[in-house]
Structure 1
Amino acid sequence: MPIPLSGPGLDRGLLRDDVYRRLRDAIVDGTFAPGEQLRDLELAGWLGVSRTPVREALLRLAQGGLVQAQPGRSTVVSTLDARAVRDARDVVAAMHEVAVRESVPALTGADVAAMRDANRRFAAALASGDAEQALLADDELHGVLVRIAGNRALETVLEQFTPTVRRAERLRFASLQARESVAQHDELIRLCAAGDVAGAAAVAYDTWHSLPSAEA
């Protein structure tokens, strides 16, 4: 398994979640390719931590479908399976619909402005072909609604299944087809600002559910 040469190691005092997020992001952004074997000792050396948090992170990644792991055997990065993407997409879309229903009544003008700013950066990233920045801006936009909803169960489900969707979306955001998402975001923001809970919830669901599993 080739370990990236760049990137600082993690502080040994950081929480296990940081190890999980670093490994998750490395899979989502393609640093670790589908089918690649992951060895906990090498990963621990790369991150500057003990093997224990790495093993725990790999178990969490397996639960989310990002890796395939068996006790006493090798762990490999999962391939981008169309069925897995479709299942994750359906769950993520439903969770974002719930987040909108719970958050829109509490939205402030500053929250709406933050969403608009995120969508401007999203559009600019798409125009420049920067899929990574597009994903970050997309996360920020939808993250406003998730944060305001304050539903920990919802956040836990999204944390588990969104990475699978994001792996597929990296392909989408590198294509012209992603331009449709800018308009969907604009409509979502308009409905949120107007306090139209049902309309905003429907657009949020469609925005996430519009990712075809065949793109996997």
Structure 2
Amino acid sequence: MPIPSTHGVHKRSLLRDHVYESIRDAIVEGTLSPGERLRDSELEEWLGVSRTPIREALLRLERAGLVIAQPGKATMVAPYDLESTLSAQQVVASMHELAARLAVPLVTKLHVQQMTEANERFAAALDAEDVESALSADAELHGVLVANCRNQVVVSVLEQWTPVLLRVERKRFASSAARTSVKQHAAIIRCVAAGDAEGAAVASRENWLSLRYSQD
């Protein structure tokens, strides 16, 4: 299995969450590709931790649909799958809808400014064909409402299921279809600025449901 060039990036004293995040990000970014076998020994060498936090991370990734464990055989990166992707999309869209509905009454002009600037960076990143920056700006924009919804369950659900969609978003943001998201983001921001919680909720849901799955 191909692994990042860095070794021992996590000391044993660090939280197991960091191990989970490192493997998750490698899957989302494509360093660990669909169908790739995940060997404990190689993960131990890369992350610099014992097998226990690695196995715990793989169990979490399995629950999130990013890893498939075959008892007695192997653990591998889950392939792209239409049914599981659509299921995750429905859940994530619903959580962002709820986050917007809860957050809009609480956000300030500064938050609106942060969302506006994030969308400007998102558009610029698309123009520059910079997928990583586009993903970062998109996450920052939506993150303003999630951070202000004051509902930790929403946050937890999104942390579990958003990575499944990021593999699809990565492809979308590399195509011209992503330009639609700039306008959708602007619609969300207008509703937030106007204090229209219901409008922001609907616009947020539609933005996430507009993501199209492709196996190509």
TM-score range relative to shorter protein? over 0.9
Give the whole-Å Cα distance in 2 for the aligned partners of 1:128 and 1:185. Answer: 18
Unaligned 5+ residue runs, structure 1? none
1:77 matched to 2:92? The reply is no
Name the aligned partner's letter for residue 41 of structure 1.
Answer: S
Unaligned 5+ residue runs, structure 2? none
- How many residue pairs were aligned? 216
Give the whole-Å Cα distance in 2 for the aligned partners of 1:72 and 1:80. Answer: 23
CA spacing shift, 1:146–1:7, aligned 2, 3 Å: farther
Matching of residues 124-203 of structure 1 within 5 Å: 124-203=124-203
TM-superposition CA deviations, 1:157-184 (whole Å, max 9, x none)? 1111101111011110000000010111
Give the whole-Å Cα distance in 1 for the aligned partners of 2:135 and 2:165. Answer: 11
Q: Residue 46 of structure 1 corresponds to which residue in structure 2?
A: 46
> Match of 1:76, SS?
strand
Between 175-184 and 68-77, the greater mean CA deviation after superposition: 68-77
Q: Residue 63 of structure 2 corresponds to which residue in structure 1?
A: 63
Structure 1 consecutive aligned stretches of length 4 or more whose deviation exceeds 6 Å: none
Q: Residue 212 of structure 1 corresponds to which residue in structure 2?
A: 212
Name the aligned partner's letter for residue 190 of structure 1.
Answer: R
Name the aligned partner's letter for residue 95 of structure 1.
Answer: M
Between 11-20 and 181-190, the greater mean CA deviation after superposition: 11-20
Structure 1 length normalisation: TM-score? Answer: 0.96
Structure 2 length normalisation: TM-score? Answer: 0.96
Contact 1:86-1:212 at 8 Å conserved across structures: no
Contact 1:83-1:213 at 8 Å conserved across structures: no
Between 70-79 and 7-16, the greater mean CA deviation after superposition: 7-16
> Match of 1:11, SS?
coil
Name the aligned partner's letter for residue 113 of structure 2.
Answer: A
Q: Residue 106 of structure 2 corresponds to which residue in structure 1?
A: 106
CA spacing shift, 1:136–1:8, aligned 2, 3 Å: farther
Offset at 1:35? 0.4
Q: Residue 93 of structure 1 corresponds to which residue in structure 2?
A: 93
Percentage of matched positions with identical amino acids: 55
Give the whole-Å Cα distance in 1 for the aligned partners of 2:44 and 2:161. Answer: 24
Give the whole-Å Cα distance in 2 for the aligned partners of 1:176 and 1:190. Answer: 23
CA-based RMSD of the aligned residues comes to 1.3
